[in-house]
Amino acid sequence: MQDWLRMTAGDLGRAIAAGAIDPEALCDTYLAAIAVHPLRDRIYSMVTEGRARAEAAAASARAKAGQRLGPLDGVPISWKDLFDSAGVATEAGSALLKGRVPARDAEVLRNATAAGLVCLGKTHMSELAFSGLGLNPVTATPPCVNDAAAVPGGSSSGAATSVAFGLAACGIGSDTGGSVRIPAAWNDLVGLKTTSGRVSLDGVVPLCAKFDTVGPLARSVEDAALMLAALEGGKPADLRGAVLKGRKFAALTTVVLDDLRPEPGAAYAAAVARLRAAGAIVEEIEAPEVAQAMPLSPALFTGEAYGLWREAIEAAPEKMFAPILERFRSGREIGAADYVAAWRRLDELRAAWRRRVAGYDAMLMPSAPILPPDADRLMNDAAYYVTENLLALRNTRVGNLMGLCAVTLPTGTPSCGIMLCGLPMQEERLLRVAAATEAALIRGR
């Protein structure tokens, strides 16, 4: 049964369909593992044992009757603590929202439940989702699976570690500037950032509504595809027969290779070499529009974030982790004219990007230019915190600024991922390319 804790969600679903795994026994196995795990309270903010057992019992009855709701019916997963769940505290990692208990599930949680997924509980996160590090002294900081002294990446920190430590088959997170992809990369998982506007944000605590997205942190590309379908109530991408031979990739050199640390740099180069060995065409490209978009980030992100949270923050600023408070408050200096002008300029730059990459199957870059930073040093060295936080999200933010879908894949080097970006609303096409890339990377290890 311990092997169940390391199986992909897709494999668990197939085993349930074949009668080899009973959903109730699977749920019991996960709940027991969570209960005795020494890191449980640093990963889960809330374990919804009653709901999980009830959903698993219903899944078991459907499986026995041959009436399963979908390929993941009966599979247990975790949810980041910004997805509303009826009658259960949803506090987004912040004391500002302590005691907030929504009356109904978020739409994506309702969709997943309708597909038969079993909700294990809610996971810790960066405060109000406004950091890529995963450091949160207000609630809890989960550890990185590869380094107990390091942060796990954020803001979907607990979502990643719940999967990496074998305490959920998949985790559901959100990504505004990299918050799915950074913790996925640093914990050797697959992380899918969906296109803004594709997956419902109804019942999701916002950070920057125009950039917020929902996506899975998973053990495989197939799991990411299956979970995307469950979140939407749709049909999963067909990954059969995906190959790399003849695929054309644009390897971005602008911005994303600056200040690249040795380990991520070597891992990225080795991964690109494996793609070429598998028959892919990889061309390096410069994209000045990416460099021009980066300085727009303060107006676009912090301006909106502070606008959304100003009233709650200024009513009780002492409840917040100081670096997060400072980052929100930097949005006070963003005027309406600055915000409107930044969006106008970004729309122009997005159009230039689309023209530049129109002939490619996907764009490549290192998922993060750094390894997971040391948690204690982040708490005690303000300059280190600022530097590492900005670098952590720099590469992933390209996808958010350009309005893309994106996926990070493990390279085989601990805490080093390679990111593939696709055009807006082209998740199915990107997932097929990612599945072929994943196969090449695994074979090359």
pLDDT tens column, 339-369 = 999 999 999 999 999 999 999 999 999 999 9
Q: Say what percent of the chain tops pLDDT 70.
A: 99
User: Using CA atoms in the order 193, 195, 198, 201, what is the torsion angle rounded to 10 degrees?
Assistant: 60
Angle between helices 336-357 and 303-315 (to 10 degrees): 140
- Give catalytic residues, as residue numbers: 80, 155, 179
The pLDDT of residue 444 is 73
Q: Which backbone phi and psi does 122 adopt, to 5 degrees?
A: -110, 145
Q: Do 268 and 409 lie in a common domain? A: yes
Q: Do 224 and 254 lie in a common domain? A: no
The pLDDT of residue 13 is 98
Q: Do 92 and 178 lie in a common domain? A: yes
- pLDDT grade for 1, boundaries at 50, 70 and 90: low
Q: Do 215 and 292 lie in a common domain? A: no
Cβ proximity of 142 and 158 under 8 Å: yes
| Domain that includes residue 417, residue range | 248-296+321-443
Q: Do 284 and 216 lie in a common domain? A: no
Q: Say what percent of the chain tops pLDDT 90.
A: 98
Q: Do 155 and 262 lie in a common domain? A: no
- pLDDT grade for 394, boundaries at 50, 70 and 90: very high
63-96 confidence digits (pLDDT tens):
999 999 999 999 999 999 999 999 999 999 999 9
Mean pLDDT for the chain? 97
The enclosing domain of 142 has a CATH number of 3.90.1300.10
Length of the chain in residues, anyone? Answer: 445
The pLDDT of residue 385 is 95
Rounded mean pLDDT, 317-328:
97
The pLDDT of residue 443 is 83
Q: Do 279 and 402 lie in a common domain? A: yes
Count of the separate structural domains present in the chain: 2
| 311 found inside a domain | no
| 310 found inside a domain | no
Q: Do 220 and 276 lie in a common domain? A: no
Is 199 a residue whose pLDDT tops 60?
Answer: yes
User: Using CA atoms in the order 86, 92, 95, 96, what is the torsion angle rounded to 10 degrees?
Assistant: -90
The reported pTM is 0.98
The pLDDT of residue 2 is 60
In the sheet that 76-80 helps form, which strands lie side by side, from edge to edge?
44-47, 118-123, 76-80, 171-175, 213-218, 190-193, 405-410, 417-422, 362-366, 248-252, 281-285
Q: Do 211 and 255 lie in a common domain? A: no
Q: Do 16 and 135 lie in a common domain? A: yes
